[in-house]
Structure 1
Amino acid sequence: MSDSTVHAIAGAGGGIISMALTYPLITISSRLQVQKNKDSKEAYKSGLDAVKKIVAKEGIAGLYSGLDSALFGISLTNYCYYYFYEFTKSAINKVQMSTLESMSAGAVAGAATVLITNPIWVINTRIATRNASAPNSRPLGTLETAQQMIKDNGFKSFWQGVMPALILVANPIIQYTVFEKIKARIAKTRALSSFDFFLLGAISKLAATSITYPYIVVKSRMQLKQSDDAKERYSSIMDGFRKIIKYEGVAGLYKGISSKIVQSILTASFLFMAQASLVEYVARLLVSLGMRAPPKRI
């Protein structure tokens, strides 16, 4: 198997670990992002208030709504991203890529990943936010949610929010470009440790999420079942921005940003640390299974 596949498998493993460790924060930020009426009794006033209300109504399990689809989604997302990123890097065929080349590799990997995995994240968003939008309804699993989506809106519903998702390819482009540039500078002076990868993941994700967060909010809302109410139905990205600002103010574009930044930083930190550690083990495992040629001895 190629180096691209090794990095892809390690990325999938790292994604599962990071997602499992930080999923409650994803649930909180997702519900805050899609919340439109903050004045109702059921509304979440803050991240901590969201935790209290979710646990009170749904138990601890409520913080993990949709975890199964999220773990599948993140493993597939990271597998695709790392595979296409490393494949593009090998096609460029440079040990040290320029900033433009690094961004190009990220764009190719990000676009391919979005087109392949968008249906999974639409399902996950609906599961994670279902109890908030319909508190008295029976929780649905992954397959039931998918079946309900097909029944209500057909297969096109799996591609809701795909345009802002494609624009959000800028997020990993920024993240991986910052990561690669800082890593290259440190590597010139010393070998990187697992803690270095943890910090690099945090710094790069902080930069990416801070810049792209309003698009994340619009994407999350477009992935929900669209309301019959015209003011809550978004026909396009710009329509989403316009209506959020009109009815909720600019602050509406940043709902849930505090918990999202904490979650994103921790997820990216654990991901980069785990992926860097897993690459060598995955390569050894594939060699032992006869699925990869052993490294050449010098």
Structure 2
Amino acid sequence: MSDSAIHSIAGAAGGIVAMTATYPLIFLSTRAAVETKNERKSTYQAIIDIIKREGVLGLYSGLNSSLLGIAITNGVYYYFYERSREAILRSRDGSKALSTLESMLTGLIAGSATTLISNPIWVIQTSQAVRTLSSESRGDQVKKLGFFDTVQSILAKDGLGALWRGIGPALVLVINPIIQYTVFEQLKNFLIKSRTAKLRAAGGATAAVAVLSDWDFFFLGALSKLVATGGTYPYIVVKSRLQAGSANALKYKSSLDGLLTIIKEEGVEGLYKGVGSKLIQSVLTAAILFVGQRRIFEITKQTIYPFVKSQRALIRT
């Protein structure tokens, strides 16, 4: 099994762990982003209101499709990212670290492939998360739908093409992981370089290279995601509304028109609805993911490689 495949498995597993730990915040930010009423609620008040209406499990509406989505998204992303990274490094001599431009190119390839493949899953998740939203003001009871029931509902109402609603802003948002992984790579390279220099200056071997800890990966992952999400959140709002099938959002002529319409109807603050819970969730998810992916990769590699070597030895004999 190649390192790219192991990175893919580790990324999927790490994503599932991170998503499960932070899902209520994803749910809250999605609901807030889709909501068009100018209603100000704290994260705490939003949680209390949902628990009163839908119970604690209401905070986990759409979790099943989210776990499937994050597994596919991270698995595909890490696979294409590592394959692209390996191809770039093999094509040249010298440093084994990606430059800023190379990091951005690698992220663009991986992000575009991931978005096209995983968009239907996020349309389903968003539809599940906001299904009860329209009935809240009337106090109606709306039946929650499972994954396959939601798929059938979307197809029956809007057809197959509805599974790719929001693909425009979703492709624009490929810049989010590009920013995230570029910032992460460059901060990681800087940290390793500076610590290696200190290590060698302190009397270490000339070939000694500093190794980053789990906490280093945690904070680098958190910081890189904070920068990426903070800069692209308005497009996340437009994407969420389109994927939810919001009547207002379906009138948007383009992503830019969506941004301008929101500013006109709801003010600039409309572009940042749910940003608080989204930033907390994104930062925690990214931090957990980077640590988890790294650990799972190492464990998987240590587990698989001895087995592969033994099988090769048997084949030779």
TM-score (norm 1): 0.93
CA contact (8 A) 2:28 2:46 kept: yes
- Structure 1's 200 and 293: CA in aligned 2 closer, same or farther, altered over 3 A? farther
Which region of structure 1 is more displaced relative to structure 2, 235-244 or 15-24? 235-244
Q: Which residue of 1 aligns with 2:167?
A: 162
- CA shift for structure 1 position 100: 0.3
| TM-score (normalizing by structure 2) | 0.87
User: Please, what is the CA RMSD of the aligned residues?
Assistant: 1.7
Query: 4+ residue stretches of structure 1 with deviation over 6 A?
Result: 291-294
The one of 196, 201, 217 aligned to 1:197 = 217
> Closer, same or farther in 2 for the Cα pair 1:74/1:289, shift >3 Å?
farther
Percent of matched pairs sharing the same residue? 50
- In the alignment, which residue of structure 2 is the partner of 1:18? 18
Q: Give the CA deviation at 1:226.
A: 3.8
Amino acid at match of 2:120: P
Q: Which amino acid aligns with 1:23?
A: Y
1:275 aligns with 293
Residue in 2 that maps onto 1:121: 122
Matches within 5 A, 1:167-182: 167-182=172-187
Q: Provide Cα deviations, 1:54-97, integer angstroms capped at 9, x if missing partner.
A: 00000000000011110111011000000000000011026111
Q: Is the 8 A contact 1:244 1:250 kept in 2?
A: yes
Would the aligned equivalents of 1:106 and 1:176 in 2 still touch at CA under 8 Å?
yes
Cα distance between partner residues in 1 of 2:309 and 2:151: 35
Q: Higher mean Cα deviation, 255-264 or 135-144?
A: 135-144
Which stretches in structure 1 are left out of the alignment for 5+ residues? none
SS at match of 1:225: coil
**Conserved 8 A contact 2:242-2:249:** no
- SS of 1:191 mapped into structure 2: coil
> 1:132 & 1:88 partners in 2: Cα distance?
41
* 1:232 CA drift (Å): 6.8
CA shift digits 1:20-54 (9 cap, x unpaired): 00000000111110110135xxxx62211210110
Provide the secondary structure at the position in 2 that maps to 1:108. Answer: helix
Give the aligned residue type for 1:47.
T
Match of 1:213 in 2: 233
8 Å CA contact retained: 2:34, 2:246: no
Counterpart contact for 1:69–1:142, Cα < 8 Å: yes
1:1-298 equivalences under 5 Å are: 1-39=1-39, 45-93=41-89, 95-135=96-136, 136-188=141-193, 189=195, 190-227=210-247, 233-288=251-306, 290=308
**Shift in alpha-carbon separation, 1:12–1:234, aligned structure 2, 3 A:** same
Distance (Å, rounded) in 1 between the aligned partners of 2:280 and 2:150: 28
